[in-house]
A and B are shown apart, each in its own frame.
Chain A
Amino acid sequence: MAEEKINHILVPKHEVCTEEEVKEILSKYNIKKDQLPRMSHKDVTIVSLDLASGTVVKIFRSNKTEPNSIFYRVVV
């Protein structure tokens, strides 16, 4: 069941960031990793990916006024 959650139509696309991407994000916003929004490694959407703490996840979520919204979360 859990593996299917990430492919569910209502779950926005989650993608694991590469090291370079993470570096870029952190320097773009001038922050440390712990200042990113967090998500639990047990979160149903990513539990099947079995991500390590500290992984940054890129989330493509769109809404009425902004179809290309991008969000980042760090796994805790």
Chain B
Amino acid sequence: MAEKIYKKINKISFGMQSPEFIGETSVAKIVTAELYEKEGYPVDGGLMDVHLGVIDPGLRCKTCGGKLKECMGHFGHIELARPVIHINFATQVYNLLRSTCNECHRILIDEKKLEMQKERMEKAKKANNSDRMRFITKDVLSKSRLIKKCAYCKAKQDAVKIEKPTTYYQGDKRLSPIEVRAKLEKINDADAELLGFNTKTSRPEWMVLKVLPIPPVTMRPSITLESGERSEDDLTHKLGDIVRINQRLFENINAGAPEMIIEDLWDLLQYHITTYMDNTVSTIPPARHRSGQELKTLTERIKSKEGRFRHNLAGKRVNFAARTVISPDPCIKFNEVGIPKSVAMELTIPERVTEWNKEWLIKAVKNGPKQYPGANYVIWPNGKKKKITSETMEQIMEELAVGFTVERHVIDGDQALFNRQPSLHRMSLMCHKVKVLPGKSFRMNPSVCNPYNADFDGDEMNLHIPQTEEARAEAEVLMEVQTQIITPKNGYNIIGCVEDSITGCYLLTKSQEISKEEATNILTSIGIDNVKFSKEKVTGSELFSTLFPEDFNFIRKNKEGEVVVRFKNGKLDKGIIDKNTIGENNGELIREFYRKYGQDKTIVLMGNIFQMGINTLLKLGFTTGVSDTDLSDDVRKKVDSMIKRAYIKVEENIVEYKKGKIEALPGKTSLETLEIKAMEILNKARTEIGDFVKDFVTKDNASIIMAKSGAKGNILNFTQMTGCIGQQALGGKRITRGYRNRTLSTFKENDLGPEARGFVKGSFKKGISPTEFFFHAMTGRDSLMDNALRTPKSGYLYRRLANALQDLKVEYDHTVRNASKEIVQFKYGEDSIDVSKSEGGTISVINAIHDVLGEKA
């Protein structure tokens, strides 16, 4: 093939085609509506003329000599017997007729104003300000269209009206397209420029068609049905109508037929050309197939969701993909995805037959498309492809040999790309290993919900099967779940243990002591069977330690610097495992392990910890219910008295304020000071109630265990259920809205007390009073609206940011550059820190020293 030379596009200009241009570029004049001769060869001068390009293999284009796919096609033309209005310019024509004189065709505004407008336009053109130019044109149109008398020839103006879509009246007289064209022709270039035309590329009269370009056959190919019949494209149908009516119009004019008949045919020609351009014009009935289906003509090809832009250019579709509802399965691994058998039998992988896999591929072919694990297609070495059916089976089995390719069903262990929209970061598309399961949903380990931001309230996800060896290798090396444990956002682990597994590990390492049989049982259920316990009783920490290699050391300190969790030589010798050790985003242990042992061992470890957690919980039994929020009478009384004490404190402050004795905080009024103090007192009261209550519930209270381990919920949730819901706040302040000087009509005016300003002393368990309920509903609605408005806004903001940054890249010299290699940063992040190898964006020098020197430093 000849080497192609590409030119850079310097400029694109949009304009209209002149009749001359259409004639010059045309390769064939179309004169007959006939398509094919008896032998099936395209008619010369017909709509399928071979000059217009080829759609049959074997034929050659008569214009350029190219074969199918070599020749892009060429435009033809027809000469219209009478001109017609171009539907897409109907309003522009209307505007021009209204704004120009009916006699002398100048713009209807007087000379002085016209000159002024022309000057403005000239200025805007120089500045290349197309918005301004458009504005001036609009201004000229609106100022000139109501003038009743021409300033130049003094002719009285009859109002020009339009009858949609393409009929114009001047006064009561109908203007034929010939007359319209004549009027437009007479608008001079200078005026046309002011009316929005670039007269170098577009003249107003070109909006009335004298010749019609015929698009090449390659953009309207006919299809041969199975019966051997030819079915023509919608455009060809429409063009056939146009050519037919045009020929009849010619004949009638030449024969000197009565004007009535000619006008009818002319209108018909107008109708056909209008629907050829746009078949969705509301004022005329759409052209239809014989079956009654509406034709898809030029505009419909481009417009709307099914049009060229949104359907073909913006929205590309792929094969070998599946989509269904997701559901959780704690029993499959983090890097596995459960797919239904019915899906596995649709998705295939092309596998080349070799001596080594011949046997099992033959078996797959024998099973066919209806039995799992089978195969759907066989491809011959020469590229011929055949579907496996009961008819073709015998022949395929006979010929199948080394060198063939079999499209076999996916099986356990194949790579699949799993994705959930919106795909905001790279973890939204990860590679999982297939696991074929019964059922109809995709199954995933709940630990990978976080990177996908998925939950199971009806979410659906997409799955793709890479088809080539290269794609599969790339997916596995770059995209598999374990490669994504650390997020590039802040260097924390986006994948970790969740919910039950955290609770389980927490309880296990807290104080459990189990028999060696039970311990062995738990290990076996994870799939570990090479650990022997010497003692009869095994502690939770010892059991947990069996998952770690012997050289693993780890220390977690809290903010005060005290050691909270410690691993020494692979043994957990201090501390309780919780969310801050193994959880997502917080799991320090996970990150430490990842650094030392790498992604593959980490994903195995996390899977084991996860399984140990849930299996422990399974053994212990764990449930939460209403009884978790029970309080004894004594505790209840104490809570009530704590609330009362807070009330009294607030009351004291109110008295001070009313006396004018309250000391105002700097920059605040005394009322603001009172509000701040009241908020403080009441919030403190609720915190104290929470602290008090949590110590007086039973030791095995599930809600508290979940809150403490970090599995789900927090102490505040528990406080609100058992003790006191607390102060309701709008915009950070106590509730003051409502009636004049009071929130609700039950309260006295100017009541500043806790209950009149939205303090809810009840709990979810005990129930709340009607006024409390109202205040609670106020804040509830406020946050609901806030959420509903903020989510789409921030989502769009993020999308715009991501699109603006997407082609920035760190080069080998550490500079960040955009697609045109312009420097954005001289050093990535100004400090060259790879965030995914840092802790929250910074590198700890002390940790690095620890690493080199070992524990002693």
Contacts and interface: CB of A to CB of B under 8 A. Distances in A.
Contacts of B327: none
A69 B841 contact: no
A29 B813 contact: yes
B827 A69 contact: yes
Interface in A25-76: 29, 31, 34-37, 61, 63-66, 69-72
Contacts of B824: 37
Interface residues of A, number: 15
A75 to B, nearest CB: 15
Given A29-B813, A29-B815, A63 B823 contact: no
A11 to B, nearest CB: 17
Given A29-B813, A29-B815, A66 B822 contact: no
Residue of A31, A65, A72 most packed against chain B (CB within 10 A): A65
A36 B830 contact: no
Interface in B816-838: 817, 820-824, 826-827, 829-833
Contacts of A35: 817, 820-823
A33 B1 CA distance: 40
A36 B827 contact: no
Contact of B831 (A36, A65, A72): A65
Contact of A65 (B817, B826, B841): B841
B826 A71 contact: yes
Contacts, number: 39
A70 B831 CA distance: 10
The secondary-structure label for the interface of chain A is: loop
Contacts of B847: none
Contacts of A36: 822-823
Nearest to A70: B826
Interface residues of B, number: 18
B822 to A, nearest CB: 5
B822 A69 contact: no
B842 interface: yes
A30 B382 CA distance: 49
A36 B822 CA distance: 6
Contacts of A66: 827, 830-832
A65 B839 CA distance: 12
A66 to B, nearest CB: 4
A36 B821 CA distance: 9
B833 A65 contact: yes
Contacts of A34: 822
A45 B95 CA distance: 52
Given A29-B823, A31-B823, A36-B823, A69 B830 contact: yes
B599 to A, nearest CB: 26
Given A36-B823, A71-B826, A65 B815 contact: no
Contacts of B841: 65
Nearest to B813: A29
A69 B831 contact: yes
A66 B829 CA distance: 9
B407 to A, nearest CB: 48
B830 to A, nearest CB: 5
B831 A63 contact: yes
Contacts of B843: 65
Contacts of A72: 826
A46 to B, nearest CB: 19
Contacts of B827: 66, 69
A37 B830 CA distance: 14
Interface of A: 29, 31, 34-37, 61, 63-66, 69-72
16 contacts: A29-B826, A31-B821, A35-B820, A35-B822, A35-B823, A36-B822, A37-B822, A63-B830, A64-B842, A65-B833, A65-B841, A65-B843, A66-B827, A66-B830, A66-B832, A72-B826
Interface of B: 813, 815, 817, 820-824, 826-827, 829-833, 841-843
Given A35-B823, A69-B831, 10 more contacts: A35-B822, A37-B823, A37-B824, A63-B831, A65-B829, A65-B830, A65-B831, A66-B830, A70-B826, A72-B826
Top 6 closest A-B pairs, CB basis? A66-B831, A65-B831, A69-B830, A35-B822, A66-B830, A35-B823
